[in-house]
Amino acid sequence: MAEKRPLILVTNDDGITAPGIRTLIEVMNELGDVFVVAPDSPQSGMGHAITVNDTLYVDRVTIDRSAPQTEFSCSGTPADCVKLAVNEILKRKPDLCVSGINHGSNSSINVIYSGTMSAAVEAGTQGIPSIGFSLLDYSLEADFKPVRKFVRQIASQCLENSMPHGVVLNVNFPKLPEEKIKGIKVCRQANAHWIENFDKRVNPLGREYYWLTGEFVNEDKGEDTDEWALKNGYVSVVPVQFDLTAHHAIKDINSWEL
């Protein structure tokens, strides 16, 4: 029966030693044969970056001697990790790719900045059913125990059902104890954005520099959004597509004098 176990690729953007990916690996070991290819250092905010003008290093590593998974750390971005895993490291196409569990939200517009989701999207473009998981807790000491059963359930369902073509899942977990999580809601991405507020400082040499900080603004009152679900104690699942065409706008733009 061993050959029937699904092959599961695990990656993330917080780096291979982050607590979030260690939890994800543990849960995936219950569901299949796990290969980890993840960044050797944190890659937060990398969006869908790929390494085109630099070299990529990959090392076989053992982080937990008692665990069954095979692990590689990579000098590249989350998207690089997936490309390397699928095209160079793995002998066959994985049955599932999971990314995360991210330390921090990737809901709403945050999906476009997310290295976690870029890994899932990259796998999706290669025809692999794929899920990005994120917990609304930026702390390195975040508690992932409350979300383990939901990770397992969503990943199992993804293995049992067929993922719609051109779609990957963006899953976010509220920061709540397990008994307070009300369930899972399939949602749309809330229409929200960031207003930046740059923190200007002066370095020891007298040169001005900035830190990027910002305020998340959600003007979307919809109760079918990921933001609503998370605020109301649900796990949000947004099906995300990588055909970015605004099909509804083609007619509009065609009315321009082009």
Region 83-122 residues binding its own copies, contact defined as CB under 8 A: 83-84, 86-88, 109, 111-113, 118, 121
Q: Which is nearer to its own copies, 2 or 205 (CB)?
A: 205
157 lies in the site for its own copies, by CB under 8 A: yes
164 lies in the site for its own copies, by CB under 8 A: yes
CA distance 24 to 235: 16
CA distance 139 to 137: 6
The closest of 39, 9, 3 to 155, measured between CA atoms, is 9
Rg for the chain, CA atoms, rounded: 19
CA distance 91 to 79: 19
Residue 188 CB, shortest distance to its own copies, in Å, is: 4
73 lies in the site for its own copies, by CB under 8 A: no
Residue 108 CB, shortest distance to its own copies, in Å, is: 10
Window contacting its own copies (CB under 8 A); options: 3-11, 60-68, 140-148, 233-241: 233-241
- Binders of its own copies in range 21-60 (CB under 8 A): 42, 44-53, 55-58
131 lies in the site for its own copies, by CB under 8 A: no
Q: How many residues bind its own copies (CB under 8 A)?
A: 85
Residue 156, Cβ neighbours under 10 Å: how many?
A: 15
Q: Pairing mode, if any, of strands 58-61 and 234-241?
A: unpaired
